[in-house]
Amino acid sequence: MQRFLGTIWIELTLYRRGIWLWATIISLISYLIYGYYLFSKEGLGAGQILQSSTFIVMAAALLGMVAGVITANREREAYLEEVMFALPGDHVRPLAKMAAWFVVVSVMMALSIFSILTIQYFWDSELLSFWWMTVNYILLYWGMTLFVSGIIGYSIQQLIRSFWSYPLLFIIWVAISPYNKILMPKDIADFLNQGEMDPTAAYSDFQGLDLSWEPIGKHLFLLLLSIFLLCIALCVEKRERSKKRGIRFVQAIVVITVIFGLIAIPLTMKDTRYNMDDLFLLYEKDLNDYTQKEKNGATQKTNLPVPTAPSFEVDSYQIELKHNNKEITYRAEMEVSVPDRREKGWLFFTLYHGLAVGDVTVNDEPVEWRREGDVLKVKWMEDDIKGKIKLYVRGTTGYKNPIDSSSFYLSSSFPWYPVPGLRNVAEITPDHRLQFKNLELSHPTSFKVLVDQNGEVFSNLPKKGKNQFEGNVRGVTLLFGRLVEAKIDGKHIVAPADYTKKLRQLLPKIEDSATLIGDRLQREEPSLPEHLFIVPLSTSVNLYPMELTSDQLLLSAEEFRIFYLQPDLAFADPLNVLPAFYWYNRYHEEESLFPFLATALYDHLYGNRTPSELQLMAQGEAPLYGDKGKNLQELAQKMMTLSEKGKTEELKKLLMEWSGKVHKGKEEIQERKQLLSALQD
């Protein structure tokens, strides 16, 4: 042990005397300070800065390999190699060298962690609340890569004592870098990549930095591979210098252990995080499903009953929910009142089709039940006026409410629990996108929700304990991820780190925009609700970046990040405020044209865009499809004709009347055409 520690001390002394080590440390700290300054100036958060540090991973790998080569060549260049082999304790020298390298890497990582956390503190970053995530990320992506690369560099230099070791190390360096996809198939490249899967991707505000099993498994794989190479190098060296079978036996055991480890590591890797490609696949699946549903409905090729309001009520919900990677499971108990017997023995619920149902009982007795699409129907004893329905649910909630290992979002307007009655969950818009509807309950209902989750879960329900919520609301929203909670002007705020500071200036601008629209439409504008959540509404697949429910204002985290320096450009824009405050805040059976045409007409009458949205629709420059698209373009052309005739006041009156009819649920396409025809006459 004394020889082992002595060798470590000598190696550390040599490292300390090397100029390259100090130059590296100074350069790293300088980059972190300057990089944080530049990124924050551009409105990019602390998480994005770390995730975008791909070239630090590449530099760490290159630095580690160079350090390994220097360590391997040190005695050889000083002509001391033969002397060192002859000295007692030579067998511990390579291990001591690696231990010294580990100490050097640890010191560099400690300085990096201290620098980053200090910068976050002085920059007043809310990401400091998740300091453990930052620490683990640096240790895994920077520290592990640096340490493993040093072992690889040392081992290769010991095995190939010639110029050819350098080209080989360069190839290995490229192979484990984030840009290896240029040279090899994607699957192999992803497996070897020691950095981010997509260095150019935006930081995931909800998921946080990627610390899932996939990158952990890849780094462990390379660590074991480097140990394997080190064992091979030591075996070759001992075979040339010594015949000690004991040493070879021990080394053979190590090699066998490493081989088994290499077999086991890939089995532990799990793809547990969603990326944008995954969301697009989920979106395409839902889009195809609901497109087919609309086609079947138009041609009467469906066995499902038409959407109807419920003839019963759910008096209370009790939900015990668990989150497991990309799905949720829960047991629900519903107290049901059935005063009306129109259902003829069946109670119909709306429940998203991605959620499977089982173990359904009524008053603790198994009953007949059926599931088709978004419909769940349960057999009910006709003489019972009240009763309890219990069921077990497991599955996913699609792109609208994404779930993965590190985050989930369940919206109160989405049927992730059984909603009484038959409702259309989503419909295809005129531009062939998917718009989910607001399926909140018709009145406040008692909810008790318990979430089995290690981290903190947030909700619009009052909190009664750790991840326990209880209260009367029209729907329950649950949020879990790298989120922070705040109070701003009495509003309950839940948002990703570093977003809350922008909301204090944004909220009055949203309210002013909604008030102005309400005055022009002669509608009483909805006030800002009690809860404001920044949620994963991806505008790449979601129609609108803002939604209003009975007690929540939901803002797209993606849109917030894009407009971080001036979020009012997105969220106070009438094109987003009007559909959120005057359409999405209630359920509409079939009215996908209103948010398109009304916002376009409003923009034409009151906006300053050139050309206006209405002109683009009328000229066919907007992407419109199918019968809905034809109807929309036809109406836009008629409105433009009226505008060109100078009938601006008539169009304003039309917009006010139309908005009022939609609000009351009485608006129909034919009635719109009649109104337009009357104005033209």
Give the tokens for residue 490: 């009495």
Ordered by start, the domain boundaries in the chain are 2-204, 274-481
Give the pLDDT of residue 375.
92
Q: Provide the percentage of residues in the chain whose pLDDT is more than 70.
A: 80
Condensed to tens digits (0 to 9), the pLDDT of residues 504-543 reads: 889 999 999 999 998 898 887 778 899 999 998 876 666 7
Specify the fold of 274-481.
Immunoglobulin-like (2.60.40)
Lowest mean pLDDT among 84-93, 313-322, 644-653: 84-93
d(CA 536, CA 253): 49
Model-level pTM greater than 0.75? yes
What helix, strand, coil percent values describe the chain, rounded to 5? 50, 20, 30
Give the pLDDT of residue 254.
64
More confident residue, 43 or 363: 363
> How would DSSP label each residue in 314-382?
EEEEEEEEEEETTEEEEEEEEEEE----TTTTEEEEE--TTEEEEEEEETTEE--EEEETTEEEEE--T
d(CA 10, CA 140): 27
Q: 468 falls in which pLDDT band (50, 70, 90)? A: very high
Instruction: Check pLDDT > 90 for residue 267.
Output: no
- H-run or E-run covering 36: helix 19-41
Burial group, residue 342, by CB count within 10 angstroms (0-12, 13-18, 19+): exposed
Q: Strand 546-548's sheet: what is its strand order?
A: 483-488, 491-496, 531-535, 552-556, 546-548
Q: What's at 268, amino acid-wise?
A: T
Condensed to tens digits (0 to 9), the pLDDT of residues 543-574 reads: 788 999 989 999 998 888 888 888 888 899 98
Q: What is the mean pLDDT of residues 160-183?
A: 80
* Neighbour count for residue 201 (Cβ, 10 Å): 14
* Neighbour count for residue 643 (Cβ, 10 Å): 19
Give the pLDDT of residue 80.
47
d(CA 602, CA 520): 9
Condensed to tens digits (0 to 9), the pLDDT of residues 368-427 reads: 999 998 999 999 877 778 889 999 999 999 888 989 888 899 999 999 999 998 888 988
